Structure 1
């Protein structure tokens, strides 16, 4: 469910500590998702609008009405350096809510990128600008400015709850949301996981099998796995 507050702009939000955001930015989405207990992922239909799209920042959230991008313009005023805009819609809509002009406006405010459960357009220009966007669709269809939504209220984007100030990280593997109060702990857990994976990587390079590294042979045999010539 989305917030029931429609027609409100919250101008003061609690953002995750910039040091924790910077620490999280060093890791990939898969690492952070696993380190957080396999939670926080948005649905995989949210894909990068261009190949270089990657971002990490604190969420300014937007609740849109279908086919109407008015609240994205309203949200621009609330962006602070290091923010990521996360836009959800009251119902499914794949219209082109966002393009080059809004990206130019957002970047001037210090925005690190956009995640939107809707459509975007001007993709070639967004790539040329190196402005990261993850979206439900690419669609040239334009939008109107006629109905109120909200800014900086909790939203559900791609089936993930996002609160203003939470950390949003995205790369080629998808989008993950880290609750702002967990940012430091998840960054530390991600570092531990990455170090452990480097050790496993070295053993795989040396030719060791996952069957032995992970101690799989005994459980497989107990379940009746047989090897036959």
Structure 2
């Protein structure tokens, strides 16, 4: 039976908002290289960065009805995550739905299907990460679910999880781990700032990361050009 769950538990809003400053790559690394959606989900325009709590919905092929249903369940700071039950590249989402979601304070859409009205959505300032871009229209006939766990971009997203998205892609942070991932991301940023200063001072990654011994153990050999040419 298709359902709409109306009272989902969301991740801590401060933690969800804070994760945006770290970006997808840092968050992904900080939580043990987990949660990264498939690279097929790409931003429809460059420069957008969002993080927020997930409202989820499932969609039938070529049918965007449940996006309209899901809009009502969205709150300020949410990110809508929409997944089709089988592969589809129709244009499920455009500027009218973007206007509707932005009016409710939704920060973005993750759509494992097609998106259209790209220029209008960019002008509106409503970011979408989609599987494809297509003008092909959809119908409103088949029911799905809202606020149940979904598979989007080959990652499981549960309602209330945190979604972080930028030019590098999309990453999912489990709801109950959001605070810990904020702390781990900050620690990673501080570590990288120290490394960056050393790189700027001329140090090499080979030395900074103690790589030389491991490279030697694996058999890497350095030769002069004359040695290489003579086979020594």
User: Map of 1:124-163 to 2, 5 A cutoff?
Assistant: 124-163=119-158
Report deviation, 1:52: 2.6
TM superposition score normalised by structure 2: 0.95
Deviation at 1:55, TM superposition (A): 1.1
How many residues get paired? 224
Q: Distance in 1 between matches of 2:18 and 2:139?
A: 39
Map residues 118-197 of structure 1 onto 2, 5 A cutoff. Answer: 118-197=113-192
Report deviation, 1:185. 0.1
- Give deviations 1:33-92, integer Å, cap 9, x for gaps: 000000000000100001133211000001000100000000110010000000001000
Structure 1 gaps of 5+ residues are 1-5
Corresponding position: 1:73 with 2:64: no
What residue ranges of structure 2 are gaps of 5+ in the alignment? 225-232
Identify the residue that residue 3 of structure 1 maps to in structure 2.
Answer: none
| Pairwise CA RMSD | 0.7
Q: What CA distance in whole angstroms lies between the structure 1 residues aligned with 2:57 and 2:37? A: 16
Say whether residues 1:36 and 2:31 are aligned partners.
Answer: yes
**Where do 1:1-150 residues align within 5 Å?**
6-150=1-145
| Residue 208 of structure 1 pairs with residue 203 of structure 2 | yes
Q: Tell me, yes or no, if the aligned pair for 1:52 and 1:127 is still in contact at 8 Å.
A: no
Question: In 2, are the aligned partners of 1:53 and 1:134 still within 8 Å (CA)?
Answer: no
Equivalent position SS for 1:11: coil
Runs of 4 or more off by more than 6 Å in structure 1? Answer: none
Deviation per residue, 1:133-156 (Å, 9 max, x gap): 000000000000000011100000
- Does the residue aligned with 2:131 lie in a helix, a strand or coil? strand
